[in-house]
Structure 1
């Protein structure tokens, strides 16, 4: 018998373990040691529970969890041959920042109601990914002679992706009426289908101040996501002076959120 020791891997493990306790104390997911390189820490390593908090930025590792859920849902849409598009706050984050909003609460995805059974058949695949598919309402007939409705959740830990059926998606209209591919937006380095003219779409959805920032409607205590958002200021931080406090940032401009915070 003999053992082969990967010295480089052992040194990397030792280096990571040496910085982990400090990373936990500071709640930081990225360390750049003086000897060079980068060390990335997950929420699991940091023993960090992902709970959206009023007035505070989400930890980058918590945002990564939500992004992984979103990527998994869109991958299963493609695998099932279902038409899916980014919607609501998820689309807003893609248009404004190229990723999810740093104060996001969930992921929003629209799908063609006619494809509901295709998505429902992915239940085991979601389970294999570590997620849970929950059907909320079935699709029904009909609106404008097309299947309509249907909704579901895909759950993991503190996060959920909300899926809402629509009777006729923009992706379908472009394909069926003009023979064109879907409009796509860039989110976390991946191009995903979206409604036509995504910037105009989110402006019509959220109002003319859409490119200023406001926290999620559940955080600010509004009755629904259709209420008018207050973009004048962020909610006061419960931990004044903390590095995750949103109220230290302006509500206008994307550069301040361009790098992980």
Structure 2
């Protein structure tokens, strides 16, 4: 949303073509350059950084008009219309801020509908880390360097 990482994000999801040579090359470059840890699962790979994770979900993409997304210093193939795919996956409020499903006791997995537009009340009202002090939508400019 902001061409960056929001401070409350805990991970970034990337859906791409089942490991192509280019995807593997880009990922290996990032792993060696930054010494990130990685875990491989059947259909996804998790790259662990100091503060958050990158989850790469591999799928066989049966379309011919694939888009390319920038990842590290390379480009990897993804769905032909990534914005529409994400909106269809998460619903019409996808671009509103939301707490991760991992921190919501009623939500069991990421495929459930997210509650957007409301941050929980902070246990220490007024503390600088309270998310409820921030607008849940709008044009706030937050830049967070990815390390």
TM-score (norm 2): 0.72
CA RMSD of aligned residues (A): 3.4
Q: Is 1:119–2:24 an aligned residue pair?
A: yes
Structure 1 match to 2:48: 155
CA displacement 1:72-93 (0-9 Å, x = unmatched): xxxxxxxxxxxxxxxxxxxxxx
Structure 1 residues 119 and 131: alpha-carbon distance in aligned structure 2, compared to 1, 3 A threshold: same
Q: Which residue, 57, 78, 85 being the options, matches 1:164?
A: 57
C-alpha contact (below 8 Å) 1:213/1:252 kept by paired residues: yes
Structure 1 residues 161 and 248: alpha-carbon distance in aligned structure 2, compared to 1, 3 A threshold: same
Mapping of residues 147-226 of structure 1, within 5 Å: 150-168=43-61, 173-174=64-65, 182=67, 184=69, 195-221=79-105, 222-226=107-111
> In structure 2, the residue corresponding to 1:247 is in which secondary structure?
helix
C-alpha contact (below 8 Å) 1:123/1:132 kept by paired residues: no
Give how far 1:120 is off: 8.2
Give how far 1:126 is off: 1.7
Structure 2 match to 1:130: 35
> In structure 2, the residue corresponding to 1:153 is in which secondary structure?
strand
Structure 1 match to 2:133: 248
**Alpha-carbon separation, structure 2, partners of 1:259 and 1:128:** 26
**Alpha-carbon separation, structure 2, partners of 1:231 and 1:135:** 31
**Alpha-carbon separation, structure 1, partners of 2:22 and 2:137:** 42
TM-score (norm 1): 0.44
CA displacement 1:103-152 (0-9 Å, x = unmatched): 11112122322527972896587245311232222xxxxxxxxxxxx322
Aligned length: 140
**Alpha-carbon separation, structure 2, partners of 1:121 and 1:194:** 14
Q: Which residue, 113, 124, 134 being the options, matches 1:239?
A: 124
- Stretches of structure 2 lacking an aligned partner (at least 5 in a row): none
Q: Which residue, 5, 12, 15 being the options, matches 1:107?
A: 12
Give how far 1:260 is off: 3.9
**Alpha-carbon separation, structure 1, partners of 2:90 and 2:54:** 20
Larger proportion of helix:
1
CA displacement 1:153-198 (0-9 Å, x = unmatched): 222334322122111166xx216xxxxxx3558x9xxx98653344
Displaced runs of 4+ in structure 1, greater than 4 A? 120-125, 191-194
Greater relative contact order (CA < 8 Å, ≥ 6 in sequence): 2
Structure of larger gyration radius = 1
